[in-house]
């Protein structure tokens, strides 16, 4: 189903707004993304609340630390039944392998489901000019390729990338899953914010994205469920025209 491909980003911290979002999607099998804003506002108990509500949780804290620290953090996520969580691929292959092996061993002993490790490539807030300043001249696409292959070698099979790099990653690693932020419905493409490399939902799915992370176009709408369903319809219409 198309709706299963959409991850709703809860980039909020206000109690009233959070209640409104959860009420709007009550009874719906929605994947919610919990990022730094909501996690710091509500703490890890927000994960329990979403799971008790019947939702799947994509915990987007982008772990970046020494191998033991990120592995112990991931174990805590597994205890709370997080479905997916993000880790920076810049941690390096040795650290990522340590994480994957340690998490699987722990979950096996504790009889827990193993959360999906999602490797972060290059943030969608970067454009080429800005990225060159911190990469020594390496292009975004080249760095995405390097990091995706490195993560794959460490056993990671899910990645975050902007929609502009979907074809690149799928071309070299066709069996991986891609979670794609930087998604804007057609009527929102001209809105200026911190997302630089964006596409419409239909375009991203057509290119091979497995999940779309969409926040502001949904949760800032006066009719959140309607906005969500409109995006689903946009994707379905794009697929029908293909």
Q: Kindly state the average pLDDT of the residues 193-207.
A: 71
Q: What pLDDT was estimated at residue 239?
A: 64
Using one digit for the tens of pLDDT, what is the confidence trace for 60-89?
999 999 999 999 999 999 999 999 999 999
Q: What pLDDT was estimated at residue 161?
A: 87
Please give the C-alpha separations between residue 168 and each of 74, 144, 165, 204, in angstroms, as whole numbers.
Answer: 28, 8, 5, 13
Q: Kindly state the average pLDDT of the residues 165-171.
A: 94
Residue 53: is it exposed, middle or buried by C-beta count within 10 angstroms (0-12/13-18/19+)?
middle
Q: Is 5 a catalytic site residue? A: no
Helix axes 93-110, 67-79, angle to 10 degrees: 30
Which residue in 87, 86, 68, 94 sits closest to 153, CA to CA?
Answer: 94
Catalytic residue, from 62, 79, 141, 177: name it: 62
101 with 69: CB under 8 angstroms?
no
What letters, b where the CB count within 10 A reaches 16 and e where it falls short, cover 71-99? bebbbebbebebbbbbbbbbbebebbebb
Using one digit for the tens of pLDDT, what is the confidence trace for 90-120?
999 999 999 999 999 999 999 999 999 999 9
C-alpha 4/C-alpha 212 separation (Å) is 9
Q: Kindly state the average pLDDT of the residues 168-197.
A: 75
**What share of the chain in percent tops pLDDT 70?**
91
Q: Kindly state the average pLDDT of the residues 127-151.
A: 92
Q: What pLDDT was estimated at residue 195?
A: 46
Indicate the CATH number of 2-241 among 3.20.20.140, 3.40.50.150, 3.30.428.10, 3.20.20.70: 3.20.20.70
For 84-222, where are the alpha helices, taking DSSP H only?
93-110, 128-135, 140-153, 166-172, 201-207, 216-219
**pLDDT at residue 166 tops 60:** yes
Instruction: Please state the φ and ψ torsions of residue 50, each to the nearest 5 degrees.
Output: -70, -40
pLDDT band at 191 (very low <50, low <70, confident <90, very high): very low
Q: What pLDDT was estimated at residue 121?
A: 94
Q: Kindly state the average pLDDT of the residues 154-174.
A: 94
Q: What pLDDT was estimated at residue 203?
A: 85
Q: What pLDDT was estimated at residue 3?
A: 67
**pLDDT at residue 188 tops 80:** no
Residue 239's H or E segment, with its range, is helix 224-241
C-alpha 48/C-alpha 218 separation (Å) is 23
Return the higher-pLDDT residue of 192 and 93: 93
Domain range annotation of the chain:
2-241
pLDDT band at 196 (very low <50, low <70, confident <90, very high): very low
C-alpha 61/C-alpha 59 separation (Å) is 6
Q: What pLDDT was estimated at residue 241?
A: 60
Using one digit for the tens of pLDDT, what is the confidence trace for 9-52?
999 999 999 999 999 998 888 899 999 999 999 999 999 999 99
Please give the C-alpha separations between residue 121 and each of 29, 132, 136, 142, in angstroms, as whole numbers.
Answer: 28, 15, 17, 11
Q: What pLDDT was estimated at residue 201?
A: 87
Placement of tokens 């369903």 in the chain = 229
């Amino acid at each position: 189903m198309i709706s299963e491909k959409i991850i709703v980003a809860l980039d909020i911290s206000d109690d009233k707004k959070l209640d409104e979002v959860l009420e709007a999607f009550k009874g719906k099998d929605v994947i919610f993304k919990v990022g730094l804003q909501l996690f710091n506002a509500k703490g890890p108990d927000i994960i329990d609340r979403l799971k008790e509500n019947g939702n799947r949780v994509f915990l987007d804290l982008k772990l970046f630390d020494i191998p033991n620290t990120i592995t112990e953090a991931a174990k805590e996520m597994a205890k709370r039944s997080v479905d997916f969580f993000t880790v920076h691929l810049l941690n390096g292959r040795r650290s990522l392998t340590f994480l994957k092996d340690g998490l699987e061993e722990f979950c096996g002993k504790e009889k827990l489901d193993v959360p999906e490790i999602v490797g972060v490539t290059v943030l969608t807030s970067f454009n080429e000019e800005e990225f060159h300043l911190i990469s020594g001249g390496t292009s975004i696409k080249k760095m995405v390729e390097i990091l995706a292959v490195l993560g794959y070698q460490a056993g990671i099979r899910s990645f975050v990338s902007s929609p502009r790099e979907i074809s690149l990653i799928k071309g070299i690693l066709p069996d991986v899953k891609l979670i794609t932020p930087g998604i804007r419905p057609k009527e929102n493409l001209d809105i200026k914010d911190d997302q630089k490399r964006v596409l419409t939902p239909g375009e991203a799915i057509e290119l091979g994205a497995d999940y779309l992370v969409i926040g502001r176009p949904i949760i800032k709408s006066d009719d959140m469920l309607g906005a969500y369903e409109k995006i689903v319809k946009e994707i379905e219409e794009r697929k029908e025209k293909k």
